[in-house]
Structure 1
Amino acid sequence: MSLKTFGAKVFAGIIYNKTQKWAQNPVETQKKVFAKLLAVGAETQFGKDHDFAGIHSYSDFAAKVPVRDYEGLKSYVDRVVHGEENVLWPGKPVYFAKTSGTTSGAKYIPLTKESMPYHIEAARNAILLYIHETGNAGFVDGKMIFLQGSPELEEKHGIKFGRLSGIVAHYVPAYLQKNRLPSWETNCIDDWETKVDAIVEETYNEDMAVISGIPSWVQMYFEKLHNKEGKKVGDIFKNFNLFIYGGVNYEPYRAKFENLIGRKVDSIELFPASEGFFAYQDSQKEKGMLLLLNAGIFYEFIKSDEFFTENPKRYTIGEVEMGVNYVLIISTNAGLWGYNIGDTVQFTSLKPYRVIVSGRIKHYISAFGEHVIGKEVETALKEAMEGSDAISVNEFTVAPQINPTMGMPYHEWFIEFEKEPQDMEAFALKIDASMRSQNVYYDDLIVGNVLRTLIITPVAKNGFQEYMKSIGKLGGQNKLPRLANDRKIADFFK
């Protein structure tokens, strides 16, 4: 056992014990975070505008601070972007994470000197808790690859701008720098396909032990490796045994990954975003990710089926239930207050609080009141594929067909197969059966002859990559929506 491996195991035990302390006292932990945020926020322009000095309870906060998305907070953010201090948080942020917006162009999410360390610690602690539970620490001596955005940053008014993954690249600990790939120069390549080609050239002869990134883009890397070497990824990297991912559900990709790798490898799921690092998988044995209640973030939850009603009830951590779909609302030490990040979650455990990401509040299908969410379509596809090695899926998305040329409306599934089912109609029926068992509204529409059984439209190889390229979102942290309530993506393939 190397000194680095031994040290990792000792440190893992320390972090596990620290984690248990706050995880076993969730309500008290959140109360402390809430009180600290309010005390600091009272000195800001936002705090003065919303009478933080007059807030003495959570109910006061909910009454004075409305739920907002980026558009609702944009007037404050714009002031910070232009160099004004003490607007949302004392002083200026150290960074702005630049992300793609839908209606406002680019979004600028502040990262402060108080919030930034939590992004780094969370990723580190996820790996340490894996080491503590499994005892597997040998990978710390191998090479590690993180598929991420460019670390090159701009600067305006004393604040640096860049992609979150590029900002985080500046914080890789010194003891990992020698193990980390790709090189700085390769990471700075903007064009994603050129970048992946360069990563393949840099890594195919290395002893890769850990690979991290969004599954869809890591899949592209694996395919290029396979094409270059003519071998399974697991044969190229014999010590590769840990995949770390976030951003999208891994399950639709798992079978394809295991085929590309040639064996099963352990995985750790993360739930990071520009707005905060919210959760990570703390156990290989339990479902869901540990919600980080001590990381400078105060959480609120709104039931998704009530979200678009007037004044929906806001729940705190002690009031949530398992299996309910909640919109995640955050207030943070980066100066986001009552902020709707757009993600929906479901709790898989209340002792401790663990969540899965169930979808996006804007990514759903409810053309006829069916309220279909991302988790349901991912589960349906997974269940339809179970027990069959003859079917493999690269990527998919779903859209409603409201005005078909013939017959009743239906949900159209656009699927890029690696291996197509021999009987496409039978495969569609399996997916439909799972959807009906999960979603009573969808089932009622089928039974009532409002909707017909779903239709599968196969997509050509690399079709989704071509779509993402066509909208300028190929690679990096960009993700394909699983669901849309319109046919913008569908029209591209039609």
Structure 2
Amino acid sequence: MSLKSIAAKLFAKKIYNTTQAWSTDPIETQKKVFLQLIKDANKTQFGVDHHFDQIKNYDDFTNQVPVRDYEGLKPYIDKVVKGSVDVLWKGKPLYFAKTSGTTSGAKYIPLTKESMPFHITAARNAILHYIHETGNADFVDGKMIFLQGSPLLEVNNGIKFGRLSGIVAHFVPKYLQKNRMPSWETNCIEDWDTKVNAIVEETINENMAVISGIPSWVQMYFEKLHQKEGKPVGEIFKNFNLFIYGGVNYEPYRAKFENLIGRKVDSIELFPASEGFFAYQDSQKEKGMLLLLNSGIFYEFIKSDEFYTNPEGSGPRRFTIGEVELGVNYVLIISTNAGLWGYDLGDTVQFTSLKPYRIIVSGRIKHYISAFGEHVIGKEVESALQEAILGTTIRINEFTVAPQITPAEGLPYHEWCIEFENEPEDSVSFAEALDNAMRKQNMYYDDLIVGKVLQKVVVTKVAKNGFQDYMKSIGKLGGQNKIPRLSNDRNIVDLLKSK
């Protein structure tokens, strides 16, 4: 055992004890965060406009600060982008993370000197919790790769702009610099296909121990390694035993990954976003990710099935951490030390544990199918697909689901566009299994099938690399971009089928 791994284990124990301290007193932890946020933003333009000086408790806050999405906060953000100070948070942000918007084009999410450190320490602490629980620290002596966006940044009005993963690249701790890959030059390559080819060349003869990134793009890296060497990734990198991922559910990819790697490896799930680092998997034995209640973020939760209701003109009820229940689908609302207030993140979560508070990401509030009132969410389609392929040789590269409301003939249906690595031997039986699994996941969908409002699912095969080609065609290949699992329109499905 090296000195570096011994030091990692000692540090891991310290961080674990720190986590235990705040996670065992969650309500008080969130109360302290809430009061500090209000105090720090008291004299900002937003704070003055919303009477922060009169806010003494959570009820005052909900009376003064409505829930808003990016469009609702955009007038304030636009002022900060133009160089104004003390608008949403004191002073100016250090960075703006540039992300893809839906109705407003590019979105600019502020990162401040108070919020930025939590993006770094959360990722570090996820690894340290893994070390503490498993006792495995040997990987710290190997190479680590983080598939991410370009670290090249623009500067406007004294603020740096870039992709979150590119911004984070500037904060890699010194003790990881020698282990970290790819090189700075390779990381700066903008074209994703060219970049992955360069990463393959740089890493193929290295002692890779940890690989991190969004599963769909790591899969692309693994496939290129396999094509070049003609053997499993686990044979190329004999000491590779830890995969760190975020952004999408890993389960639909797991079978394909294990085939590409040639064996099972441990994994750590993260829940980062430009708006904050919200949770990480703190245990290999427990389901879900630990919600980070002490990281400068105050959390609220709205039941997703009430989100678009407006009872008595007051809007849906907002819950705090002490009021949530297991298994309920909640829209995640945040107020942060980067100046986001009552901010609708767009993600939905479910709690898997209340002691401590652990969550899974169940989907996006805008990514659902409810053409007939079924309100199918991302978690349900992922779970259904996982059940349908369990115990088979079927392997999936990528998929998305959309309703077909006006078929040429017959009843409407849900269409599953799937890119197979290994196709089903019997496509009819597979579609039947997939439909049965969906009926278990969503009782409203089951009612529609029983009532002959919908016919059973229709599976459409997507050509090899079809999803990559689609993402490339819309300028979103690589980085933090990912395919929506489902949508209530046919924009993605129709484009996939037109290729």
| Code of the aligned partner of 2:390 | E
Give yes or no for the alignment of 1:353 onto 2:357: yes
Q: Map Cα deviations across residues 42-95 of structure 1 (whole Å, 9 max, x no partner).
A: 110000000111112111111110100000000000000000000000000000
| Code of the aligned partner of 2:99 | T
Q: Report the counterpart of residue 435 of structure 2 in structure 1.
A: 432
| Code of the aligned partner of 2:137 | A
* Whole-Å separation in 2 of the counterparts to 1:363 and 1:493: 18
Could you tell me whether the CA contact under 8 Å between 2:110 and 2:339 is conserved in 1? yes
TM-score by length of 2: 0.98
Residue 323 of structure 1 and its aligned partner are, at CA, apart by 0.3
| Code of the aligned partner of 1:257 | F
| Code of the aligned partner of 1:51 | H
Q: Map Cα deviations across residues 392-418 of structure 1 (whole Å, 9 max, x no partner).
A: 100000000000000000000000000
* Whole-Å separation in 2 of the counterparts to 1:118 and 1:177: 19
Alignment of 1:41-440 (within 5 A): 41-310=41-310, 311-388=315-392, 390-440=393-443
* Whole-Å separation in 2 of the counterparts to 1:172 and 1:40: 28
* Whole-Å separation in 2 of the counterparts to 1:435 and 1:64: 41
* Whole-Å separation in 1 of the counterparts to 2:289 and 2:69: 24
* Whole-Å separation in 2 of the counterparts to 1:493 and 1:173: 41
* Whole-Å separation in 2 of the counterparts to 1:223 and 1:329: 38
Q: Give % identity.
A: 78
Tell me the secondary structure at the aligned position of residue 362 of structure 1: coil
* Whole-Å separation in 1 of the counterparts to 2:441 and 2:322: 27
Tell me the secondary structure at the aligned position of residue 76 of structure 1: helix
1:481 to 475, 481, 484: 484
Gap runs ≥5 in structure 2: none
Q: Map Cα deviations across residues 268-296 of structure 1 (whole Å, 9 max, x no partner).
A: 00000000000000000000000000000
* Whole-Å separation in 1 of the counterparts to 2:428 and 2:340: 48
Residue 493 of structure 1 and its aligned partner are, at CA, apart by 2.5
* Whole-Å separation in 2 of the counterparts to 1:187 and 1:447: 52
Tell me the secondary structure at the aligned position of residue 238 of structure 2: coil
* Whole-Å separation in 2 of the counterparts to 1:328 and 1:40: 23
Gap runs ≥5 in structure 1: none
Could you tell me whether the CA contact under 8 Å between 2:467 and 2:496 is conserved in 1? no
CA RMSD of aligned residues (A): 0.5
* Whole-Å separation in 2 of the counterparts to 1:109 and 1:492: 29
Could you tell me whether the CA contact under 8 Å between 2:411 and 2:455 is conserved in 1? yes
* Whole-Å separation in 2 of the counterparts to 1:117 and 1:270: 16
Tell me the secondary structure at the aligned position of residue 27 of structure 1: helix
Q: Map Cα deviations across residues 138-187 of structure 1 (whole Å, 9 max, x no partner).
A: 00000000000000000011100000000000000101100000000000
Give yes or no for the alignment of 1:29 onto 2:29: yes
Q: Map Cα deviations across residues 105-161 of structure 1 (whole Å, 9 max, x no partner).
A: 110000000000000000000000000000000000000000000000000111000
| Code of the aligned partner of 1:431 | L
* Whole-Å separation in 2 of the counterparts to 1:190 and 1:470: 15
Q: Map Cα deviations across residues 460-493 of structure 1 (whole Å, 9 max, x no partner).
A: 0000001101111000000100001000011112
Tell me the secondary structure at the aligned position of residue 170 of structure 1: helix
* Whole-Å separation in 2 of the counterparts to 1:254 and 1:164: 26
Q: Map Cα deviations across residues 408-449 of structure 1 (whole Å, 9 max, x no partner).
A: 000000000001101111111111111111111101111111
Tell me the secondary structure at the aligned position of residue 417 of structure 2: strand
Alignment of 1:11-26 (within 5 A): 11-26=11-26
Bigger mean CA deviation after superposition, 125-134 or 432-441 = 432-441
Could you tell me whether the CA contact under 8 Å between 2:335 and 2:342 is conserved in 1? yes
| Code of the aligned partner of 2:122 | A
| Code of the aligned partner of 2:354 | L
Tell me the secondary structure at the aligned position of residue 416 of structure 1: strand
| Code of the aligned partner of 2:34 | F
Bigger mean CA deviation after superposition, 323-332 or 427-436 = 427-436
Could you tell me whether the CA contact under 8 Å between 2:234 and 2:262 is conserved in 1? yes
* Whole-Å separation in 2 of the counterparts to 1:76 and 1:319: 31
* Whole-Å separation in 2 of the counterparts to 1:67 and 1:431: 37
Stretches of 4+ aligned residues off by more than 4 angstroms:
none
| Code of the aligned partner of 2:54 | G
Tell me the secondary structure at the aligned position of residue 260 of structure 1: helix
Residue 381 of structure 1 and its aligned partner are, at CA, apart by 0.4
Residue 233 of structure 1 and its aligned partner are, at CA, apart by 0.1
Q: Map Cα deviations across residues 349-391 of structure 1 (whole Å, 9 max, x no partner).
A: 0000000000000000000000000000000000011111x21
Tell me the secondary structure at the aligned position of residue 325 of structure 2: coil
Residue 30 of structure 1 and its aligned partner are, at CA, apart by 0.2
| Code of the aligned partner of 1:338 | G
